Chains A and B, each alone.
Chain A
Amino acid sequence: MATRNPPVPTAGAPAPTSGAPRDAYVIGGNRIPFARAGGKYSRASNQEMFTAALEGLVARYGLQGERLGEVVGGAVLKHARDFNLVRESVLGSSLSAQTPAYDLQQACATGLEAAIAVSNKIRLGQVESGVAGGSDTVSDAPIAVSEGLRRALLEASHAKTFGARVKAFGSVRPSDLAPLTPSTDEPRTGLSMGEHQAITTARWGITREAQDALALASHEHLAAAWDAGFFDDLVTPHRGLVRDQNLRADSSLEKLARLKPVYGKRLGGSPDDSGHRDGPEPTMTAGNSTPLTDGASTVLLGSREWASERNLPLLARVVDAETAAVDYVHGHEGLLMAPAHAVPRLLARNGLMLGDLDFYEIHEAFASTVLTTLAAWEDDEYCRTELGLDGRLGSIDRGRLNVTGSSLAAGHPFAATGGRIVATAAKLVARKAAETGGTTRALISVCAAGGLGVAMILESVHSTDATA
């Protein structure tokens, strides 16, 4: 692995102008409140939710009848009938039916990757505007049939005679009739994401207390942001749900501490009769892990000219983005550790240090995902051997981390999380830049199944240019 020596600019120095022909900007965002699985959206489909998020965005920015450059998004748990989910949503929206769309899927990073895709096309001048987003429902997840029944159905559909059709079902066993519910297990390992993270958590020795504290902060920050009206122009209610259903404004360390661990209980084997166990103590609970959630989000991006012609605000410039992947299959790296790799590469390319950011939006798949990532960046040996750096990447100011809460409190409808974070981060930098007059930057990182991780840097727009 080649060792890089990132340039060391002084803190707060402006990032070099990228080589792109022009910039892409975050104009705003809209999502629906996230619902707990089986909750308010238990009868809502991905298409309904994504359309709702899109409609709220159209209403907020007056985009009725507008032909956007494209709408890009996706869903992780997706019905076969939803093959054109995003385009169908556009057709059901108030946007011009001439707005193209395509589906994209990169597990939990779907929304953020979509934002990268749209912003890159804007930067290249291929489109002037676009919407990125995603939707996911656990409540309305697709159910598949067993392999045996699937084969029989396919054979029957190809059969030319009635007899052959009947014969096709001859091989179906009663057990084949049981439906297959979607699994969030990693296909290559059979381990759930939580079990994977439990392994990473054990490897990095992240304590239960630290995880619970992070979870509590997430709830407190999100509750405060809601109370302060921060989400008034980021969220539109849906199906009577007005706030994120998972938010526990009255959470406390005591309550979190009472929860039983749910992941990592088998590490090192179960306790023996005397209660002794050889493996690490399990630390991950329902309180410091993200619950299954339903929801959808969108982000509006555009060129400066496009926004200015429509009197739309420029919240933040998309500076750059980086996607990384790690080899987790054989345990070399933790499943959700890819952002630890993506971020230093992204910072180096843009001449930034870890401390140069004003906001850190690190997706809380689990409290320990954030904590292992931070621990990794503070670990000299890891940064040298795994990240190819000269030494530790550094620490971050926890006061700048997920300041309006993140997925532990808001919930995490997989493909919808990227859009939630981009819109939030863009608003945060715009707001702070307006207050201080200085350049403000946010770092976004989202981990994803398959050992994927995506990071993005947003930067405030100079105040005199913020609106046209």
Chain B
Amino acid sequence: MTDSYVKAVNSGFTKTLAKKLGLPRPAVLRRFRAGDPLTVGPVLVLGGTPGVADDADRVADALLGWDLDVRQNADDSTRWGAIVVVLTEIARPEDASPTVLALAANLRRLAPNGRVVTISRAPADGDDPALAAAREGVDGFLRSVAKELRYGATGNGVQLVTSRDEVPVDAVSSLAALRFFLSARSAFVDGQVLRVGSPVADVGVAGAYWDRPLEGKVAVVTGAARGIGAQVARTLARDGARVVVVDVPAAGEQLTTVANEIGGTALQLDVTADDAGARILEHARARHGGLDVLIHNAGILRDKLLANMTADRWDAVIAVNLAAQVRISEHLLGASGFSAEPRIVSLASTSGIAGNRGQSNYAFSKAGVIGHTRAFAARLADLGGTANAVAPGFIETEMTASIPFVTREVARRVASLQQGGRPVDVAEAIAFLASPAATGVNGQVLRVCGQNLVGR
């Protein structure tokens, strides 16, 4: 499961050798550890106009509130932990130039595992063409910058969506997304532009919120016995949630281990059962007083070229990965007891976005997840909740360990980060989307892929 190549090229003799040979040298990614600083160094906030109270100042103020070393003026010596590029106020394509060039001047001094985060506004219907051009441009710019970053540094964008009102740059969800991208929690999220709308619920982030954002919440994770699901359960528990771990009865032994590790409760259940939604809700209500967060993680692979596809392989994948999610979500939305701010996060996949040979059934199911996520998002918004999906790329799990060596190596190195992610990377993204402060992120698909080549 571990990528020994990453270890080898970053230590001792093999590191020297790899350097001499010019081998790709993927970095050891910095991941979240309680107590570590949010960023690896000072944060440079670029954009806006000096002397004018603008969005860049609002962002800088917010960052100061997080006890960060925040600068708005570059110097020649600082190694930046992160550079936040505020482009919310550009109105024409030409407007981006000073900010972009300021970034260019500081990029070489971005520390390993540093962060570049753009904050911009999404184009909207009826936009002035110049405005739309400028705003759309940021998207392509960010994705390209991300590909140029090295040593574990990532580039991601927060794209504020205007629906009824313009979302303030320092709205709770805008800042939550910014904080996620700045932090080590987003280690394997790279080259992504996340759309953030108006908060659908009133969320306070006072006190110890950022340490335990899910405090008091009850979360259900399906497929939680192993791999990504188990890690999601651990991460949600770390963030303060009481977690119900669900998996098929046959996986009960591992499920028990996970439940006992995180102090959760185990529910042995086949998600394809007709009454799965009812039993999940019943368990969460009876034992924990309600249900706030549902993570649709359970999934199976039955790979086969379509020409060789059999009914049982197709049907099983669709039933577990897609139909069960729809049925359970429908049940929860129709029943009382789902929380006042319900959150659903579903596991999609880059295969569902870009397609994958031999995975027509899997890709159907995962693309389908994206479809129902968008559909449920609207219904959940009415309830003050959200529905989002996470699309993992190549993640080092028991499942991917079985992929043939060469295929596995290619899959790892084609990403900007030149390695596979870990289950915890997916879990962090899910935990972020499930967190109260992410209330303005709805109907989104967040890729956790190290900026893999495939798809968008």
Contacts and interface: CB of A to CB of B under 8 A. Distances in A.
Interface of A: 52, 55-56, 58-62, 64-65, 94, 229, 231-233, 235-240, 242, 311-313, 467
Interface stretch (B246-254, B308-316, B320-328): B246-254
Interface stretch (B3-11, B71-79, B171-179, B281-289): B281-289
Contacts of B197: none
Nearest to B244: A62
24 contacts: A52-B256, A55-B257, A56-B252, A56-B266, A59-B255, A59-B259, A59-B260, A60-B265, A62-B265, A64-B259, A65-B263, A229-B249, A229-B270, A229-B273, A236-B256, A236-B266, A237-B249, A237-B250, A237-B251, A237-B252, A237-B253, A239-B253, A240-B253, A311-B288
B286 A467 contact: yes
B253 A236 contact: yes
Contacts of B270: 229
Contacts of A233: 267-268
A236 B268 contact: yes
Contacts of A58: 256, 259-260
A298 B250 CA distance: 19
Given A64-B263, A229-B273, A233-B268, A59 B256 contact: yes
B390 interface: no
A27 to B, nearest CB: 11
B253 A312 contact: no
Interface in B260-282: 260, 263-270, 273
A423 to B, nearest CB: 14
Interface in B351-377: none
Contacts of B287: 62, 311-312
B74 to A, nearest CB: 50
Contacts of A62: 259, 263-265, 287
Contacts of B259: 58-60, 62, 64
Contacts of B245: 59
A231 B249 CA distance: 9
A467 B269 CA distance: 21
Contacts of A240: 253
A242 B256 contact: no
A59 B265 contact: yes
B292 to A, nearest CB: 16
Contacts, number: 71
B266 A60 contact: yes
A94 B249 contact: no
Main SS at interface, chain B: helix
A236 B260 contact: no
Interface residues of B, number: 24
Contacts of A94: 260
Nearest to B249: A232
B269 to A, nearest CB: 6
A191 B335 CA distance: 61
Contacts of B251: 237
A311 B256 CA distance: 19
Contacts of A64: 259-260, 263
A298 to B, nearest CB: 12
A54 to B, nearest CB: 10
A236 B247 CA distance: 11
Given A59-B266, A65-B263, A235 B286 contact: no
Contacts of B252: 56, 235-237, 242
A235 B269 CA distance: 12
Contacts of A467: 286
Given A56-B252, A232-B249, A313-B286, 11 more contacts: A55-B256, A59-B257, A60-B267, A62-B263, A65-B263, A232-B268, A235-B249, A237-B249, A237-B251, A240-B253, A467-B286
Contacts of B257: 55, 59
Contacts of B266: 56, 59-60, 236
Nearest to B260: A94
| Chain A to chain B: the 7 pairs with minimum beta-carbon distance, closest first | A59-B259, A59-B266, A94-B260, A59-B256, A236-B252, A62-B265, A64-B263
Contacts of B255: 59, 236
Contacts of A59: 245, 255-257, 259-260, 264-266
A235 B245 CA distance: 16
A354 to B, nearest CB: 34
A315 to B, nearest CB: 12
Nearest to A52: B253
B224 to A, nearest CB: 11
A334 B265 CA distance: 45
A60 B252 CA distance: 10
B10 to A, nearest CB: 36
A232 B286 contact: no
B84 to A, nearest CB: 41
B256 A56 contact: yes
Interface string B15-33: 0000000000000000000
B253 A238 contact: yes
A233 B259 CA distance: 14
A106 B132 CA distance: 81
A65 B255 CA distance: 17
A65 B263 CA distance: 8
Contacts of B263: 62, 64-65
A52 B267 CA distance: 16
A236 B251 CA distance: 8
Contacts of B289: 311
Contacts of A65: 263
A55 B253 CA distance: 9
Contacts of A313: 286
Nearest to A468: B286
A94 B261 CA distance: 8
Contacts of A235: 249, 252
Contacts of A239: 253
B255 to A, nearest CB: 7
A151 B289 CA distance: 62
Contacts of B273: 229
A120 to B, nearest CB: 27
B80 to A, nearest CB: 43
A56 B252 CA distance: 8
Given A56-B266, A64-B260, A232-B269, A311 B286 contact: yes
Nearest to A242: B250
A154 to B, nearest CB: 42
A235 B253 CA distance: 10
A92 to B, nearest CB: 11
Interface string B125-161: 0000000000000000000000000000000000000
A285 B45 CA distance: 83
Contacts of A311: 286-289
Nearest to A467: B286
A314 to B, nearest CB: 11
Nearest to B288: A311
Contacts of A60: 259, 265-267
A51 to B, nearest CB: 11
Contact of B249 (A61, A238, A242): A242
Nearest to B243: A62
